[in-house]
Structure 1
Amino acid sequence: MYRRLVVKLSGQAIAGGDAFGFNRERLTHLANEVIALRATGVQVAVVVGGGNVFRGNRAEDWGIDRVEADNIGMLGTIINAVLLRGRLAALGADDARLMTAIPINNMAEPYIRLRALRHLDKGAIVLLASGNGQPFTTTDYPAVQRAVELGADALLVAKNGTDGVYDADPNKFPDARRFDHLSYQDVIDRGLGVMDQSAFILARDHRLPLHVFDIDRTGAASSISTGTPVGTLIN
């Protein structure tokens, strides 16, 4: 169904049930899901978040400038990406390439769009870290931005413990209804919190399909790549 996909992984997915830090079992699960996705024949890039290390919106709590806080968050995404690359290699995917928007040449390549495309065309898994290198954005925006830049057919928005988009918080309202399909305008009209508004508008403007799904569900990403309805499709 798809030729090239970008997966947006949050730092929380790496932390598992904890608010911060790392979980070995979760990391292994995520690496296996990425490998299984590539095994379906699609090209795979992964945008990695860093919320399990530090969140830029906590700048005031720590008494530091927001730009500095966002810089720390971007470094957190690199830590997570190096961890994921290491686990991928240990599981046999030793061709995973890590690219960062912030130069850190001793352990990663700088993000260059054409080079990333060449890696994808050769079948490598491309890990994208440090967002887009700029403060005042979460990883939602660069996830959409990279998907558009790389000509991805869709963005897989991996959620941790939520299997799609609901009309209310399913953790608070047991009768909340999950949507199988939504248009971009439906999301805006209903005020549904799929991702940051700026990121969502960018996806809408470039007609980038969004698959919102539960990364905890084994094989969910692979099923999406082969056309099986999973989670919520927004297009």
Structure 2
Amino acid sequence: MSNRPGKLLFAGLMGLALAFPFGISPSHGSTPKSSAQLIALKFPQANSDRGQTATSGGGGVRQTSGGSCLTKAKLPFQLLIPGDYNQGSGFHNTASKETFIYAYLPPQPGLTAQVQLADPITKEQNQTTFTVPKEGGIVRFPVSLPDNAMEDDFYNVTLTLICDANNTQDNLTVELTVNYTPLDQPPTNADSSLAEAAFYAEQGLWLDALNALAAIAKEEPQEWQEFLESGGFAAWAEAPVVECCQMVNTSALAN
């Protein structure tokens, strides 16, 4: 356990978050599969699609600047974190030190992404820059927590999308906080990505469940789409999942 300041507050908030687990319900009216049984992972039905935006998608998520270059397409930018996730606790649990933030990006040539990770206690920061495919789609941005991260350690994540390096006012910046929540019993018995996603969903870990499903999004498109829809993202559920991103550089930032 970590002895850092703020631990007790965040541990209490984590308890509230885990008291609101994901639901796994049987699929109704689905076409039977011959390869595997459809288990239809679902976020709680209370989180039906309500036209979420980057500013409303998820407790503790806020858009702090710009983004006008990403609003001209049919589908706008969208961070894929449900609006009621963790009951507005202000942070997002992850059981893995190597986690990912998923977002829909509209087609945009020359788009660059920066992911900054900051420890609010030690003030240590690092930033990684990526190039983003111009075709757009659902992309994942890697977030690597420090090797020495301990249970209940939390980190501020800033995702900045740069359309024009010479016009910073047009950039889109989204901020959120992740909480490292290792599990006492990791999914060692999960025999497939679908089973792994079900395990994480039962633990109330949206980031981990979504990442497990993304690995089989092309093989299990119905599972992927239904999970996104039940999280409130029906408008983006059929967007292609694209390979991303090519790392340009990574660096530690001065405090």
Q: TM-score, normalised by structure 1?
A: 0.25
Determine which structure has more spread, i.e. the larger CA radius of gyration: 2
Structure of greater relative contact order (alpha carbons < 8 Å, 6+ residues apart): 2
> Hey, which of these two has a bigger chunk of strand by percent?
2
